[in-house]
Chains A and B, each alone.
Chain A
Amino acid sequence: MTCRRRLAAGTLPIREAKAPIKRRFLQRHVSQVALSPSLALIAIFLYGFIAYTAAVSTTNSKAFPRFDTFVGLEQYWRLFHTPRWHVAFTNMFLFGGLFLLVTISLGLLIAILIDQRIRAESFFRSIVMYPMAMSFVVTGIIWQWLLNPTLGIEVMMHQLGFESFRLDWLTNPDTVIWALVVAAFWQGCGLVMALFLAGLRGIDEDIWKAAAVDGIPAWRVYVFIVIPMLAPVFLTVVVLLSLSIVRAFDLVVALTNGGPGVSSDLPSVFMFDMAFRRTNLGLSAASAVVMLGTVLAILIPYLYVETRERA
């Protein structure tokens, strides 16, 4: 044990002999004492309210939580018989799948392009990173304007002379999901690119030299050697993006507000709507619990792999 750690833990013998009993307790447990306020806050406001939400989901609460209306798992039964929930839940996977695919593949591609020792690298890096500084609300509004057929890209193309150009993603229920994907990609690409770029920079230069001497074409080095070496980065990226997919709320509210109709609904929007507009707290709580389950289904395997690698 290093001296500093022993000092922190209060087991350094000189101190121990002199300190009165009360101070000795503090010295021994200084880290626990320092952490306890935040632990208490997390216990109450995170885990406490998760439990509370789970409890509410077993009641027939309307505008306010009422525990005298216990209905068991009926809210879950209702949830899975609500067509709008199915749209929202399916959308989460549709949007999530497309978003993951587009963001990872293009983010990796941009990282590879920037890694080619290009000129003005920091300029390009900044351009890709800047959208990350925007909140999803701002992102949503920007893309709402850009995709608006009466003032965005479509008008610009018409003015340029392409009269037949149409961009009706926002008004077409079949394509509105793409509007979400494009906006989310625009915002999330910077982070993904930065993670991949860091991974690429971490690869030993000698590997490239060895491949050059071996006569392996660059694309094959990427496909067979470099990209497999980036597996841990992929895992991190997938987890980060997956969590942002489940949490996605502000983007949808700002960009489409779930429309047209409910065609771009996501579970988080559904939950918010049920709780605060439709005064159906019980159903809302049930959807929240299902979302938590989805998050855990993603997180637990990741944590399992991570902790096993560390051990």
Chain B
Amino acid sequence: MIDIRISNCNKNYGSLRVLKDINLEIERGEFIVLLGPSGCGKSTLLHIVAGLDRLSSGAIEIGGRDVTDVEPKDRDIAMVFQSYALYPTMSVRSNMEFGLRMRGKPMAEIRPLVEDKARMLHIDHLLDRRPSQLSGGQRQRVAIGRALVRDPKVFLFDEPLSNLDAKLRASMRTEIKKLHQSLGTTAIYVTHDQLEAMTLATRMVVMKAGEIQQVGKPEEVYHRPVNLFVADFLGNPGMNFMKGRLRLEGGRVSADVGAATIPLDGYAFDTSPTDGQAVMVGLRPESVQPSTGGEPFALTLKPTLIEHTGSDNLVVLAMGSEEIVGKFPSDMLPKLGEPVAVGFDLSRLSVFDAQTERRI
């Protein structure tokens, strides 16, 4: 059942086109993450769903009802902001109660509701404090609590964890995930952090310059990016790209990347390849591993730089005039300048047309 439908949505600020013909359908209970670099329009799209921004053309439906011209308060949504946006002059309790009070709900119903949600978020001991007396993580819990008590049809998150430090961000991330699993409410979550996107999303939407690049399950977007931008944007360290040309010989396809010829027999082409086509062959660092001897494709390459991350060793390998990065296990420490046998997991290859930058 479709909960949110965004159709042909455009947003212009003067001549600047912030959103270009966005179409998106969100099923009930999904956790959609909008991901993209800053200025890609993801926050604008969220604000439009919330009703805080008007769209220039197009329509928004929530729960089967056209809400294009409906005020935010009547859209049955709740929102969590990056800056928490708590009311600083009110106690935590009042912050959580205020929205319900304004809707004329009797206090006898509000009280137990607020206390229940506060317990759920482990902030029940903070109810009588002011926001200024809380830490960043506690403030964001209160902000989430304020959204929870409203029991909305849709949760909107606008980079809620960006102001927190790395460790807290990770624990809040898991809590948001648990929360979504237990509540099952549809959610849209905006972030520029790919780790948040990968871990939280049931489906993610990658955006760039006001356009949707790819919509799909995180692993699908990660392993089968539709274009160079998505491939490059996701993953840390980023995907290796090797410039080359396709070669068609006797029904077999391979990519000549200068230093090597990579066989593409097992590659599932989206479009039929042509001989001599200029391509970018992409392979993620984790698919570049020390050879065990069993791989169908291996090369002997010279390491030029090694970075220790603790869990892995990132090995920069010279490949002709280019360099590729391999993610080696931490116990595999090659010597600089001494060639090592490197195995390539070709089932994870992505091949893009060099001109159109699309997956082929």
Complex alpha-carbon distance, A204 and B83, angstroms: 8
A 196-210 binary contact with B (CB < 8 Å = 1; else 0): 000000001011011
Residues of A within 8 A of B74 (CB): 215
Are B87 and A215 in touch, CB under 8 angstroms? no
Residues of A within 8 A of B85 (CB): 204, 206-207, 209-210
Are B79 and A210 in touch, CB under 8 angstroms? yes
Q: How far is the CB of A234 from chain B (nearest CB, A)?
A: 13
Are A212 and B89 in touch, CB under 8 angstroms? no
Residues of A within 8 A of B71 (CB): 212, 215
Residues of B within 8 A of A216 (CB): 98-99, 102
B 68-102 binary contact with A (CB < 8 Å = 1; else 0): 00011110011101111111111000000011001
Are A212 and B82 in touch, CB under 8 angstroms? no
Contact of B52 among A212, A214, A215, A225 (CB under 8 A): A212
Residue numbers of B with Cβ under 8 A of A are 47, 50-52, 71-74, 77-79, 81-90, 98-99, 102-103, 146, 150
Complex alpha-carbon distance, A217 and B81, angstroms: 19
Are B87 and A207 in touch, CB under 8 angstroms? yes
Are B77 and A213 in touch, CB under 8 angstroms? yes
- 6 A-B Cβ contacts within 8 A? A204-B85, A206-B85, A207-B87, A209-B79, A214-B98, A215-B103
Are B72 and A213 in touch, CB under 8 angstroms? yes
Tell me if A260 is interfacial: C-beta within 8 Å of chain B.
no
Contact of B81 among A210, A225, A228 (CB under 8 A): A210
Q: How far is the CB of B91 from chain A (nearest CB, A)?
A: 12
Complex alpha-carbon distance, A213 and B229, angstroms: 34
Residues of A within 8 A of B51 (CB): 212
Are B102 and A225 in touch, CB under 8 angstroms? no
Are B87 and A206 in touch, CB under 8 angstroms? no
Complex alpha-carbon distance, A85 and B90, angstroms: 46
Among residues of B, the one whose C-beta sits closest to the C-beta of A227 is B89
Are A209 and B99 in touch, CB under 8 angstroms? no
Residues of B within 8 A of A224 (CB): 87, 89-90, 98
Complex alpha-carbon distance, A213 and B102, angstroms: 11
Q: Provided the pairs A209-B81, A210-B81, A215-B99 are in contact, do residues A229 and B88 lie with their beta carbons within 8 angstroms? A: yes
Contact of B73 among A206, A212, A225, A229 (CB under 8 A): A212
Contact of B89 among A206, A215, A228 (CB under 8 A): A228
Are B50 and A213 in touch, CB under 8 angstroms? yes
Are A214 and B88 in touch, CB under 8 angstroms? no
Residues of B within 8 A of A220 (CB): 102
Complex alpha-carbon distance, A132 and B33, angstroms: 52
Complex alpha-carbon distance, A215 and B152, angstroms: 13
Are B89 and A225 in touch, CB under 8 angstroms? yes
A 209-249 binary contact with B (CB < 8 Å = 1; else 0): 11111111100100011001100000000000000000000
Q: How far is the CB of A220 from chain B (nearest CB, A)?
A: 7
Residues of A within 8 A of B47 (CB): 209
Complex alpha-carbon distance, A116 and B252, angstroms: 67
Given contacts A207-B87, A213-B50, 18 further A-B contacts (CB under 8 A): A206-B81, A206-B83, A206-B85, A209-B72, A210-B79, A210-B81, A212-B72, A213-B52, A213-B78, A214-B150, A215-B73, A215-B102, A217-B102, A220-B102, A224-B90, A225-B90, A229-B88, A229-B89
Q: How far is the CB of B76 from chain A (nearest CB, A)?
A: 10
Q: How far is the CB of B87 from chain A (nearest CB, A)?
A: 5
